A and B are shown apart, each in its own frame.
Chain A
Amino acid sequence: MSGDLILDVQNLKVDIPVSAGMLHPVRGISFSVKRGETLCIVGESGCGKSLTSLSLMGLLPKTAIRTADRLDFLGQDIRNLREREMAALRGVNMSMIFQEPMTSLNPAYTIGNQLEEVYLRHIERDRRKARDRAIFLLEKVGISSAASRLGQYPHQLSGGLRQRVMIAMALMCGPDLIIADEPTTALDVTIQAQILHLLAELQREFDMGLILITHDLGIVARVADKVQVMYAGKTVEEGPCEAVFDRPLHPYTSGLLKCIPVPGKTQRGAPLGSVPGIVPNLVGDLQGCMFRNRCEFAMAGCATLGDEPTRMDDGHAYTCLRPPEMALEPAE
């Protein structure tokens, strides 16, 4: 049913031992996804958004350590599932769409082979049913003459078509949750709009939860129900899409929004806003707000800022010392 809780994550952490010490790419993030809901996780490279998605799927590198206070998927605790039990969930109940459709499709097998494999592996070993399902889904994702496409290899398709095939593959077993990691970054703007349109349509039709991971705030604004802004492995701001974009409370969010040229709004030729500095190193013991070195509002208390966010009435929350009524005012 629409509105049912599918995924509930509390205080998820990922640690990876490296030669310099312990790397903390994800440092305690919490979120939940309901059926029919789109959660967007947004942040720049290195903020931990991709590792978050891989840790949900149980696809982290072997050396990485995942801990969480709660990790419930469809009411089942998946923290301590064995690899075999996890593999049964993956593909059937949750599936993933990756950024680069060329590297995530196997060049040596036909499209049909790869689509049917998911079905044969997880649902039942009936080639005809698998083939019918593949044709049905290829048509659903807008690929014409689907039956003849089944015999083609990935290199015979354009980037946009390959991403459509990836989406069809993710839908083969009728999942409850789709995790899309930068699904349109490698594509043209026109194709990007089409793919996002398609994802939104399919999500409505099949009543799935969608976690969309991206660095593009334009995409987030257009598709998200809920937004989670990540910086240095933590959520710095979260809330309903409109609240976050209308009234960004964290200096990082408002800084990012000022970086984007918007036709008709930003003055042509005038300098764009920028967030100076670079992302911090996440090795070792980390304390306080990690954005303080790049923040124009940084003050003494930032070095000891805790994890507890300031919560507003409308579900909007942010982790910063500045009170909400000051958030929209420029620096002195």
Chain B
Amino acid sequence: MLKMTPALETDDVTCVFQVSQGFMKGIKPLRAVNGVSLKIPKGQVVGLVGESGCGKSTLANILLGLQKPTTGDVRYNGESAASFNRKDVARRIQPIFQDPYSSLNPTKTIASIVSLPLRIHQTCAPEEIDGKVHDILDLVGLPRRVAQSYPSQLSGGQRQRVAIARALIMKPEVVICDEPTSALDVSVQSQILNLLQDLKAELGLTYLLISHNLAVVEHMADRVAVMYLGRIVEEADSETLFADPRHPYTKALLDSVLTPDPRLGVPDTHLGAVFPNPIDPPSGCSFHPRCVSCMDICSRTAPKQDVDGPHMTECHLFGAEVKTPEPAI
């Protein structure tokens, strides 16, 4: 495992935006991504979970080459991103976005939307394009006649299939799915998830699955990383993470999953109402104001990564500073 080069890897990536505080109030840095090292091994599904504003979409943009990291490096198959231009990156990595209503151009036909990558990269002769479009529509389970339709004529599920077809037509190595099903109905969500699973097996794809729905991530992912305020606070194999969550934030996220069990009530996550302002993050561990097992040290020093085999946690409960972890309440 360790010897194999990951399909996609970030090495201590940081992304800082300079945010204006308002007229005559100066500029402050916002650390959207703060030292993230993430490996996405070939042929695996890595899940990335966290609340809105935690930096997961910024990280996705960095991986897609749409946003330059302030410091740190992104490596594709072990080669630094600096040696690639935009087109090379786009050939290897493709996105599927959350909202199929706004990510498809309403004035273009489906055939035109799906074939755009082929025309830009000019990898095949113009007369082959129609055939390729039909092949990919078959692959994602759309009837060929939709090629001449416009996005407004399709349902949400069909549009998301079009977005998947567009992402896959260049045969990329990695697909970054940013909340691929959160805008869809449950029955459509299960169809899209099944399709993503089938395509992965058929084409040997690698996925980064970004979602705040932990049930979906648990179902799809081999490995899961939990992100909070620009940091990955816990990372482990799916089985380990869901069986033995360590970070109090991961526990709170898991508690918030509403499984259809009528015997359970609505959980009380004890998280408090306010997500901290990323421009002015809390001192020490950035999670401490919302944490149920907060200790004195948490507000003073930031925790270090505690690596226990494949299970990484960034919390004082598991760091070297505290030998005997207090049980979480």
The listed residue with most A CB atoms (<10 A of its CB), out of B189, B220, B262, is B262
Query: What are the interface flags for B181-192 relative to A under an 8 Å C-beta threshold, 1 for contact and 0 otherwise?
Result: 000011111110
Among the listed stretches A55-63, A263-271, A300-308, A324-332, which one makes contact with chain B, having 4 or more residues with CB under 8 Å of it? A263-271
Beta-carbon contacts under 8 Å, B250-280 to A: 252-269, 271, 273-275
Residue A245 contacts which of B254, B260, B275 (CB distance < 8 angstroms)? B260
Chain A residues with Cβ under 8 A from B268's Cβ? 193-194, 197
Chain A residues with Cβ under 8 A from B260's Cβ? 217-218, 220-221, 245, 257, 260, 262
The listed residue with most B CB atoms (<10 A of its CB), out of A158, A189, A264, A275, is A189
Known: A159-B52, A259-B189. A223 touches B218 (CB 8 A): no
Beta-carbon contacts under 8 Å, B145-196 to A: 155-157, 185-191, 193-194
Contact B52 A189 (CB under 8 A): no
Contact B258 A245 (CB under 8 A): no
Chain A residues with Cβ under 8 A from B258's Cβ? 189, 192-193, 196, 216, 218-219, 221-222
What is the chain B residue whose CB lies nearest that of A192?
A: B256
A274 and B193 CA atoms in complex are apart in Å by 10
What is the chain B residue whose CB lies nearest that of A264?
A: B242
Contact B218 A268 (CB under 8 A): yes
A224 and B242 CA atoms in complex are apart in Å by 27
Known: A143-B273, A161-B273, A278-B155. A260 touches B257 (CB 8 A): no
Chain A: minimal CB distance from B302 (Å): 22
Chain A residues with Cβ under 8 A from B214's Cβ? 189, 263
Residue A246 contacts which of B219, B252, B262 (CB distance < 8 angstroms)? B262
**A4: Cβ under 8 A from any B Cβ:** no
**A255: Cβ under 8 A from any B Cβ:** yes
**A242: Cβ under 8 A from any B Cβ:** yes
Chain B residues with Cβ under 8 A from A197's Cβ? 266-268
A206 and B278 CA atoms in complex are apart in Å by 37
A275 and B268 CA atoms in complex are apart in Å by 33
Contact A190 B253 (CB under 8 A): yes
Chain A residues with Cβ under 8 A from B212's Cβ? 188-189
Query: What are the interface flags for B201-235 relative to A under an 8 Å C-beta threshold, 1 for contact and 0 otherwise?
Result: 00000000000111110111000000000000000
Query: What are the interface flags for A198-228 relative to B under an 8 Å C-beta threshold, 1 for contact and 0 otherwise?
Result: 0010000000000000011111111110000
Contact A272 B194 (CB under 8 A): yes
What is the chain B residue whose CB lies nearest that of A142?
A: B273
Contact B267 A245 (CB under 8 A): no
A255 and B187 CA atoms in complex are apart in Å by 8
Chain B residues with Cβ under 8 A from A159's Cβ? 52
Chain B residues with Cβ under 8 A from A215's Cβ? 185-186
Chain B: minimal CB distance from A81 (Å): 34
Query: What are the interface flags for A137-171 relative to B under an 8 Å C-beta threshold, 1 for contact and 0 otherwise?
Result: 00000111000000000000011110010000000
What is the chain A residue whose CB lies nearest that of B52?
A: A188
**B238: Cβ under 8 A from any A Cβ:** yes
**A117: Cβ under 8 A from any B Cβ:** no
Chain B residues with Cβ under 8 A from A143's Cβ? 273
A219 and B257 CA atoms in complex are apart in Å by 9
Chain A residues with Cβ under 8 A from B238's Cβ? 268
**A241: Cβ under 8 A from any B Cβ:** yes
Contact B252 A190 (CB under 8 A): yes
Contact A221 B259 (CB under 8 A): yes
Contact B266 A200 (CB under 8 A): yes
Query: What are the interface flags for A285-320 relative to B under an 8 Å C-beta threshold, 1 for contact and 0 otherwise?
Result: 000000000000000000000000000000000000
A126 and B218 CA atoms in complex are apart in Å by 53
Chain B residues with Cβ under 8 A from A21's Cβ? none
Chain B residues with Cβ under 8 A from A263's Cβ? 214-215, 218-219, 242, 254, 257, 259
Contact A261 B219 (CB under 8 A): yes
A151 and B257 CA atoms in complex are apart in Å by 35
Contact B215 A271 (CB under 8 A): no
**A256: Cβ under 8 A from any B Cβ:** yes
Contact A45 B156 (CB under 8 A): yes
**A44: Cβ under 8 A from any B Cβ:** yes
**B51: Cβ under 8 A from any A Cβ:** yes
Query: What are the interface flags for A84-128 relative to B under an 8 Å C-beta threshold, 1 for contact and 0 otherwise?
Result: 000000000000000000000000000000000000000000000
Chain A: minimal CB distance from B328 (Å): 16
A164 and B273 CA atoms in complex are apart in Å by 9
A196 and B269 CA atoms in complex are apart in Å by 11
Chain B residues with Cβ under 8 A from A221's Cβ? 258-262, 264
**B197: Cβ under 8 A from any A Cβ:** yes
Contact B252 A256 (CB under 8 A): no
Beta-carbon contacts under 8 Å, A231-269 to B: 241-242, 244-246, 255-266, 268-269
> What 16 new A-B contacts, CB under 8 Å, besides A144-B274, A160-B273, A242-B262?
A45-B156, A161-B273, A161-B274, A164-B273, A193-B266, A200-B265, A200-B266, A218-B257, A221-B258, A221-B259, A256-B186, A260-B215, A262-B259, A268-B219, A269-B197, A272-B190
A→B interface (CB under 8 Å): 44-45, 142-144, 158-161, 164, 188-194, 196-197, 200, 215-224, 241-242, 244-246, 255-266, 268-269, 271-276, 278
B→A interface (CB under 8 Å): 51-52, 155-157, 185-191, 193-194, 197-198, 212-216, 218-220, 238, 242, 252-269, 271, 273-275
11 CB < 8 A contacts A-B = A158-B275, A188-B51, A197-B267, A217-B260, A221-B262, A241-B262, A242-B263, A262-B215, A268-B219, A269-B219, A276-B191
Q: Which 10 A-B residue pairs are closest in the complex by CB-CB distance?
A: A218-B258, A261-B219, A259-B190, A272-B190, A275-B187, A221-B260, A193-B256, A44-B185, A189-B256, A263-B218
